[in-house]
Amino acid sequence: MDEANKQVTEKSQEGEKPRDVQDRSSISRRDLLKLAGAGGVGLLLGSVGVGGVWAGTAKLAAPTASTASNADPKQVIPFYDAHQAGIVTSAQDFICFAAFDLTTVKLSEVKDLFRRWTEAAAKMTAGQPVGGEEDQQSMPPADTGEAAGLHPCRTTITFGVGPSMFDARFGLGAKRPEALADLPRFGGDSLRPEWCGGDIGVQVCADDLQVAFHALRNLTRLARGVAVLRWTQEGFQRTGGSGPAGETPRNLLGFKDGTGNPDIHDKQAMNDIVWVQPSKQPAWMSGGSYMVVRRIRMRIEVWDRSTLSDQEATFGRYRSSGAPLGAKNEFDPLALDAKNEAGQPLIPLTAHSRLAHGEQPAEKVLRRSYSYSSGIDRQTGQLDAGLLFICYQRDPRTQFVPIQQRLAKRDKLNEYIVHVGSAQFACFPGARQGGYIGEGLFE
């Protein structure tokens, strides 16, 4: 158990209020105390991201309520931890993603921003308002208030910096990780600048959209004069309680999405796939992870005119069950060598699942995607909907890039999708109480 969690547990056992929630008077506080006081520590520690994976020696806390569905809205995912939350956290129902551009050229102001953001994120993920007591009628309220009375809803806020952070402005060039190389241009990309890049990426996830919006809005407000929004995208999954617990959610093409994802409970796999190891440079990324974000527009109207067998050949899976073609159950392995009666591969050579399937474990990524629907495309009158693809990995050059190169060349799904946005961010390791996110880079 890592230091931060140990602290919470010990204090709770002593019947004391955890430091973070002292002297607050809100429903959230009462709920937190109830949890902390009544043996609810398991719930506080329920995030699968909890447990000191960083040092590689500590034990994982027993995960509870970790299947996301029907999650308790009062559940808090601890903000201070060895790793940032929101990466190996089981996916919440909603995302508000934002890329920011810095308007300052002073590194000191960037540091201050991340200090303010850290403090605010710790409060908001605990279900508390930003700032102090609001009895100053003559001042703008520190918190914008629309989440007052709402539960923490498993909010996580995950911060990273893009390649542009290492340009001439801040003198950080020497600290740029090699793994944060510019992504190559992939065949078929139709990237639009308004959906690309950003000095800073912030992933806010929560089981309530209003709670997630509130967090992003207050972070944006705290950045005033230092950074501005470059692009944002909201997204959703089927809501936790809306289907059978633990089922793989479906994307907007109607297919289950995430079946082949590695198990976030498998500590070894997460070390192998997601977390930057201490042996790698730069040291400030040790315990962090690289995020790739792609805004993938789906040509829904075209897809909807294709036959079911075409659709299933495209994915290499049955739509209804999610099972690989020729197999019975969703989690059956892909029979990549099996042939049909005509001697053709049962799973076509161009099938998405075949090509996305990494040849080696080193090529796997942890996907954490959300569907999006953003009204209609004014030029075509069609729905602007698709997937906000997000994945985490130790090194995009050997994980996301080779997978996407294969997909870009041959994936039959390319007839129905188009990548319109792209960004990548080096997501810092977690912060400890008293420290701040990004400290290792900025100090």
Applying the rule CB under 8 A, the residues between 302 and 331 that interact with its own copies are 304-309, 311-312, 319-320
| Cα gap 240→205, rounded to integer Å | 13
| Cα gap 325→319, rounded to integer Å | 10
Q: Is 245 in the site for its own copies (CB under 8 A)?
A: no
Quick one: tokens of 151? Answer: 């539960």
Stretch that binds its own copies, among 136-144, 173-181, 265-273, 284-292 (CB under 8 A): 136-144
Q: Is 170 in the site for its own copies (CB under 8 A)?
A: no
| Cα gap 292→285, rounded to integer Å | 15
Pick the binder of its own copies from 3, 27, 277, 349 (CB under 8 A). 27
| Cα gap 366→368, rounded to integer Å | 7
Q: Is 246 in the site for its own copies (CB under 8 A)?
A: no
| Cβ pair 316, 325 in contact under 8 A | yes
Pick the binder of its own copies from 57, 168, 244, 360 (CB under 8 A). 244
Quick one: tokens of 316? Answer: 């290499």
Pick the binder of its own copies from 208, 395, 411, 439 (CB under 8 A). 208
Q: Is 231 in the site for its own copies (CB under 8 A)?
A: yes
Q: Is 211 in the site for its own copies (CB under 8 A)?
A: yes
Could you tell me how many residues make up the chain?
443
Pick the binder of its own copies from 47, 92, 251, 350 (CB under 8 A). 251
> Containing H/E element for 44?
helix 41-44
Pick the binder of its own copies from 255, 275, 290, 425 (CB under 8 A). 255
| Cβ pair 253, 297 in contact under 8 A | no
Cα-based angle 58, 440, 87 (whole degrees, multiple of 5): 55
- Hey, which residues between 341 and 400 contact its own copies (CB under 8 A)? 371, 373-376, 378, 381-383, 385
Pick the binder of its own copies from 4, 8, 21, 153 (CB under 8 A). 153
Amino acid at 201: G
What's the Cα-to-Cα distance from 379 to each of 364, 372, 419, rounded to whole Å? 37, 18, 17
In the complex, least distance from residue 145 CB atom to its own copies, rounded to whole angstroms? 3
Pick the binder of its own copies from 66, 232, 259, 414 (CB under 8 A). 232
State the number of binding residues for its own copies (CB under 8 A).
Answer: 76
In the complex, least distance from residue 237 CB atom to its own copies, rounded to whole angstroms? 7
**Would you say 67 or 271 has its CB closer to its own copies?**
67
Stretch that binds its own copies, among 111-119, 137-145, 354-362, 426-434 (CB under 8 A): 137-145
| Cβ pair 314, 122 in contact under 8 A | no
Q: Is 144 in the site for its own copies (CB under 8 A)?
A: yes
Nearest 5°: phi and psi at 366? -100, 110
